[in-house]
Amino acid sequence: MGEILTMALAAVLINNVVLSKFLGVCPFLGVSKNSKSAVGMGLAVIFVIFGASLITYFLYYQVLVKMHIEYMQLITFILVIAAFVQFVEMFIKKYSASLYKNLGIYLPLITTNCVVLYVAQDNITQGYNLIETMTNAIAVPLGFMLVLYLFSCIRERLDSADTPESFKGNPIALVVAGLMALAFSGLTGIV
Amino acid sequence: MIKAIIYFIILAVIYGVLYYFNHKTPKPEGCENLRSSCEGCNITSCMAHPNNDRLFKEENKNA
């Protein structure tokens, strides 16, 4: 149990997927204009990564390994993620209008989010068992959501700040992202 | 090799079918013109890119 908690804490704070691995930077910059969008995107990412990780985990060990076609791993994961996102979008459209209103616009963006593929690949390359896979599939997107939310709050404050003209928009956002990466690197060693 | 090709075709067909059904499923009322607040990166082919607003409007006009 302690190991699982350590692993989760490390994935959220220390090995943060955005600030230490520089993955998912596109939605990090694109959907962090306001905190409401950031939370919506974060929730959608958590849901998709968890579902896609479980499907790819079972598909890898029950199909690819048994058929001795492990080299099809990458293409399988890409297609599974894309298909899963289509399925989730269709399901939400049909059964929950309110959920679609909140998350629907973010779902197509997640197909191209490299964090989803990273988590699916990481679960296999690290040789995680099912419990570890589930922990990783929750903790990594939770770290993504945390950083996205913090970044969006800072950007909201920056909108009303007296920023030099040439720094407005993406330049100051990238400076802030760099400072956040430095701040998070200070957490190295807590576990 | 044959197993891999068949496996790939099955996956691609599953994706194609889900894409088709998702595309055919109507959006809920009041959600027809939802847009993300993405400011745009260098991937101009992305549907959320602000450059594609014109295409998005045309698509909705035809739907």
CA A74 remoteness from chain centre: 18
Question: What's the Cα-to-Cα distance from A70 to each of A119, A127, A134, B1, rounded to whole Å?
Answer: 17, 14, 21, 12
Give the residue ranges of DSSP H helices in B1-63: 2-24, 53-62
Dig out the tokens for A183 from the structure.
Answer: 């701040």
Per-residue pLDDT of chain A (191 residues; tens, 9 = 90+): 788 888 888 888 888 889 988 888 888 887 787 788 788 888 888 988 999 999 999 999 999 999 888 898 999 999 999 999 888 888 888 887 777 877 777 777 777 778 889 999 999 999 999 999 999 999 999 999 999 999 999 988 888 888 888 888 888 888 999 999 999 888 887 77
The residues near A126 (Cβ < 8 Å, ≥ 6 apart) are A132, A136
pLDDT digit string, tens, across residues B20-35: 998 888 888 777 766 6
Q: Which of B6, B8, B39 to mutate to test binding with chain A, by most A CBs within 10 Å of its CB? A: B39
Q: What is the pLDDT, as a whole number, of residue A189?
A: 79
Q: What is the pLDDT, as a whole number, of residue B14?
A: 93
Yes or no: say if B22 and A89 are a contact pair by the CB < 8 Å rule.
yes
Structural domain boundaries, residue B55: 2-62
Sign of the Cα torsion A84, A49, B48, A22 reads negative
Contacts with A69 from chain B: Cβ below 8 Å: 3-4, 7
Q: What is the pLDDT, as a whole number, of residue A3?
A: 86
> Which DSSP letter does residue A106 get?
T
Sorting pLDDT into bands at 50, 70 and 90, what band is B9? Answer: very high
> Which residue carries 């090995």 as its tokens?
A15
At what angle are helices A35-59 and A73-95 packed, to 10 degrees?
130
Domain limits, chain A: 10-190
A/B interface, count of CB pairs below 8 Å: 91
> Which residue carries 């909705």 as its tokens?
B60
Q: What is the predicted ipTM?
A: 0.73
- How far apart (Å, rounded) are the C-alpha atoms in residues A6 and A11? 9
Residue B5 has pLDDT above 80, yes or no: yes
Amino acid at A187: L
Q: What is the pLDDT, as a whole number, of residue A137?
A: 93
Q: Total domain count for chain B?
A: 1
A122 vs B45, residue with greater confidence? A122
Q: How far is B38 from chain A (nearest CA, A)?
A: 4
Q: What is the pLDDT, as a whole number, of residue B3?
A: 86
Residue B54 has pLDDT above 60, yes or no: no
Q: Which of A121, A133, A151, A182 is nearest to A41 (CA)?
A: A151
- How far apart (Å, rounded) are the C-alpha atoms in residues A26 and A191? 29
Q: Is A104 on the interface with B (CB under 8 A)?
A: yes
Give the residue ranges of DSSP H helices in chain A: 2-9, 25-30, 35-59, 73-95, 97-103, 107-111, 114-125, 130-159, 170-185
